[in-house]
Amino acid sequence: MTLFMIGIGLNNERDISLKGLDAINKSSYVFLENYTSKMNCRVEKLEKLYGKKINPADRDLVEKNSDEILNKALDKNVSFLVAGDVFSATTHVDLFLRAREKGINIRIIHNSSILTAVGIVGLELYKFGKTASLPFFEKSFIPETPYTVIFENKKRGLHTLVLLDIKKDKERFMSVNKGLIQLLELEKKLGKKIILSDSKIIGCARLGSERKVIKYGKVKDLLEFDFGKPLHCIIVPGKLHFMEEKMLEIWK
Ligand SMILES: C[S@@+](CC[C@H](N)C(=O)[O-])C[C@H]1O[C@@H](n2cnc3c(N)ncnc32)[C@H](O)[C@@H]1O
């Protein structure tokens, strides 16, 4: 039978496509990947509109025990739901390949992703460089990669999307403020002068929802700003075209 891998969009139960809904209707089992992103609504809302029970799929289930999902798809239709788009940011290529190895028919149903939704701020998507992921720092774990990625992009005049960590088991979602504090910490350590308190950056929250917040300003000012509920991300602009500057003025 078929494994439907379905992006369900960025906001709430109503962001799913009609194709996605049709696939769920045909499915005997529905799983929701619940560790790399988050919808702005409760699972019950999804269950009500989709008309099916939704089984949460944590990292262990998807990455270590994926047979529990895939074996069901050998003789039944199974829907695997992902917030945003299926292959964006966290790729789920692993699950796709394992399903293929088992000879399972796979259908992909796309949706919007944070990788494209950031277009709303007015920066040219073609001018984004490598995406950075910023994890919560721990005493023995302060990775420099996110800072290096921003530096390398900036050198080429490219913008950087910084995705912020999610610790789903602890319901911890990194805020723009926390992200900036950590980037300033890396600035202090590595000193390339890319994230200074006067540097202008963009903080975003809940893109795709009616309650989205986009704020363009100096790091020192955004540090004081309350972006509200998750999810948040940061954009560090590279070289700006005057049209991009004009758009950013809107979010000051
Ligand atoms: C792994 S990525 C999401 C991948 C998802 N499959 C997609 O296509 O959007 C998760 C990170 O993206 C950012 N993010 C996701 N959705 C967001 C939203 N609606 N508004 C702001 N940031 C968001 C957050 O930083 C979050 O920690």
Taking the whole predicted model, whether its pTM rises above 0.85 is answered as yes
Residue nearest to atom 4 of ligand 1 (CA): 89
Residue nearest to atom 15 of ligand 1 (CA): 114
Q: State the pLDDT at residue 168.
A: 85
Q: State the pLDDT at residue 236.
A: 98
Residue nearest to atom 11 of ligand 1 (CA): 163
Residues 130 and 52 in one domain: no
Whole domain around residue 194: which residue ranges? 115-250
**The total number of structural domains that make up the chain:** 2
C-alpha of residue 37 to centroid of ligand 1, in Å: 6
Q: State the pLDDT at residue 37.
A: 92
- For the chain, residues with pLDDT lower than 50 are none
Nearest-5° angle of CA 148, CA 152, CA 155?
A: 135
Q: State the pLDDT at residue 235.
A: 98
Residues 61 and 183 in one domain: no
The enclosing domain of 151 has a CATH number of 3.30.950.10
- The span from the CA of 182 to the CA of 147, in Å, is 10
Residues 99 and 132 in one domain: no
Residues 120 and 228 in one domain: yes
Q: State the pLDDT at residue 51.
A: 97
